[in-house]
Amino acid sequence: MAAIRLDSVTKKYDGVIAVDDLTLEIQDQEFYVLLGPTGAGKTTTLRCLSGLESAHEGRVFIDNKDVTDWSPANRDVAMVFQQYSLYPNYTVRENLSFPLKSRIRNITPDERNRRVEYVAKTLRIDHLLDRATDKLSGGEMQRVSIGRAIVREPQAFLMDEPLSNLDAKLREALRLELKRLQRELGATLLYVTHDQVEAMSMADRIGVIRDGVLIQSDKPFEVYNRPKNVFVAGFVGTPKINFLEGHVTDGNLTLKGTTDTFRLKTEVMDKIGNVSGEVIVGIRPEDVNLQQQQDENTCAAMIYLVEHMGMENWVSVRIGEHQQIRAVTDSAFEADVDATIYYSFEQEKLHFFDQNTEDSLVL
């Protein structure tokens, strides 16, 4: 396995920039997830890396070798696609051995069989080996495509939303399996997805990308707790983070459209460089506290909706005229719609963003 580096890669389609000056480094044996919405340039990045597309500018390095002008075959990376990934009219065994039959690899038939059997066993598809690929379920299909990637023992794995065509339960199971496999193989893996749950659950590091620009590249914990801007904060986390417009003066935070004012702690103010003026405040639902009694650092709100999720409740409350906040409470929480409730924030968990640039104000 090998490290991967993209150096200022730019790719345009018909003059539209798909990937914009993107620099990315993936360590050897790292599980790196490229996370972003549809059309963000994730797949294009992957294709530039695999050699299916050539970048207009910038260099691509695999194992510290400049492979920018190499063909996909010579780059020796394996790719798992979202769909249509298995060769039709071939059995599972033929699919698995197809990469090994390439002229650029010189593998004896015995070695080929050994590897196919081994991979089939690892992925628990050995009972399917002689089946035609169109007789497989979706999960089995993706397992075979992952197998086809593994069997080659490549420099790196590239996966383009391999789980997104599967149903939720299967996705969860395969997520675990993929993570375990990556650890066992010590594989360098670049995984592209729009599903933040997949990213958070599997990644060693997450790169959040939008409009071809890599916004933040960090460990999942950092991405979640120290988002670089409003987009990252909003993209990661379920239920979604609350964004509130507010005003900071002399260490007091006033939410827009209300008279609700919170006195911010000094360490919080220090963290954001003692800003004053209009800000966007982000607070994750689990960091919103709801209580029946009023005290000095709470404000009144009205219950809007209670969603029972089983292990917890998601409670939406209305503050002022237009703003809404969602809070996560334990499942015992009960309240009538339109009842008055008092809310406060875990101040250390507040995120502050510049109103114009939407960048985080945290220093």
Partner 1 sequence: MAAVVSQRKKLANRIMIAAVLVTTFIMLIPIYWIATTSIKSFSDAVAVPPKIFFQPEMTGLVKVFTKRTQLRAPKYKITDQTLESLEADGVPGDVLVELAAVGKLYRTESQFTDAVNEALGPERATDYLALVVRYATISDPTPEKYADARWYEKLIYDSGEKILRASPYPNRLWNSVLISIVSTVLSVAMGTLTAYGFSRFRVKGEKDWLFFILSTRMLPPLVIIVPLFLMYRAVGLIDTHLGLIILYTAFNLSFSVWLMKGFIDEIPVEYEEAAMIDGYTRFEAFRKIVIPQSVTGMAATAVFCFITAWNEYAFALVLTARRAQTAPPFIPSQVGSGLPDWTAIAAGTVLFLIPVVIFTFMLRNHLLRGVTFGAIRK
Q: How far apart are CA 83 and CA 103, in angstroms?
A: 26
Part in contact with partner 1 (CB under 8 A); list of ranges 1-9, 70-78, 162-170, 286-294: 70-78
- Minimum distance from residue 107 beta carbon to partner 1 (Å): 10
Could you say which of 38, 64, 89, 293 contacts partner 1 (CB under 8 A)? 89
Query: Reading across the β-sheet that carries 205-210, which strands appear in turn?
Result: 77-80, 156-160, 189-193, 31-35, 205-210, 213-218
Cβ(262)–Cβ(269) under 8 Å?
A: no
Nearest CB to partner 1, comparing residues 157 and 262: 157
CB of 143 to partner 1, least distance (A): 15
Residues 125-154 that bind partner 1 (CB under 8 A): 148, 152
Closest CB 99 distance from partner 1, rounded Å: 4
Quote the CA–CA distance of 26 and 32 in Å, as a whole number: 7
Q: What is the rounded CA–CA span in Å between residue 64 and residue 212?
A: 24
Cis status of the peptide bond prior to 88, with omega within 30 of 0: no
98 binds partner 1 (CB under 8 A): yes
Give least dist CB 280 to partner 1, A. 41
Which residue of 16, 38, 88, 321 would you call a contact of partner 1, by CB under 8 A? 88
Residue placing its CB nearer to partner 1 in the complex, 73 or 173: 73
Q: Are 360 and 226 in contact (CB under 8 A)?
A: yes
Distance separating alpha carbons of residues 318 and 306, to the nearest angstrom: 12
| CB closer to partner 1, 55 vs 328 | 55
Q: Are 196 and 232 in contact (CB under 8 A)?
A: no
51/285 with CB nearer partner 1: 51
How far apart (Å, rounded) are the C-alpha atoms in residues 141 and 163? 11
Q: Is 104 in the site for partner 1 (CB under 8 A)?
A: yes
Six-digit token pair at 238? 């379920």
Smallest gap from Cβ 71 to partner 1, in A, equals 7
Which of positions 7-66 make contact with partner 1 (CB under 8 A)? 50-52
Among 38, 64, 84, 293, binds partner 1 (CB under 8 A): 84
155 contacts partner 1 (rule: CB under 8 A)? no
Q: Which of 292, 310, 309 is nearest to 301 (CA)?
A: 292
Q: Determine if 87 is a binding residue for partner 1 (CB under 8 A).
A: yes
Q: Is 108 in the site for partner 1 (CB under 8 A)?
A: no
Structure-block tokens of residue 315: 């409670």
Residue-wise DSSP of 272-304: TTT--EEEEEEE-GGGEEEESS--TT-EEEEEE
Q: The tokens of 186 are what?
A: 């010590």
Q: Does 328 contact partner 1 by CB under 8 A?
A: no
Q: Please report how close the Cβ of residue 53 comes to partner 1 at its closest, in angstroms.
A: 10
Say whether residue 112 binds partner 1 (CB under 8 A).
Answer: no
Q: How far is the CB of 74 from partner 1 (least distance, A)?
A: 8
Q: How far apart are CA 201 and CA 223, in angstroms?
A: 13
Q: Which stretch binds partner 1 (CB under 8 A): 74-82, 251-259, 265-273, 334-342?
A: 74-82
16 vs 311 by CB, closer to partner 1? 16
Is the distance from CB of 352 to CB of 281 less than 8 angstroms?
A: yes
Cβ distance to partner 1 smaller for residue 85 or 216: 85
- Please enumerate, as own/partner, the contacts of 216-220 that have beta carbons within 8 Å and a separation of 24 or more: 217/24
In the complex with partner 1, the residue whose CB is nearer, 98 or 304, is 98
d(CA 290, CA 148): 51
Give the interface with partner 1 as residue ranges (CB under 8 A): 50-52, 71-73, 75-79, 81, 83-85, 87-89, 98-99, 102-105, 148, 152
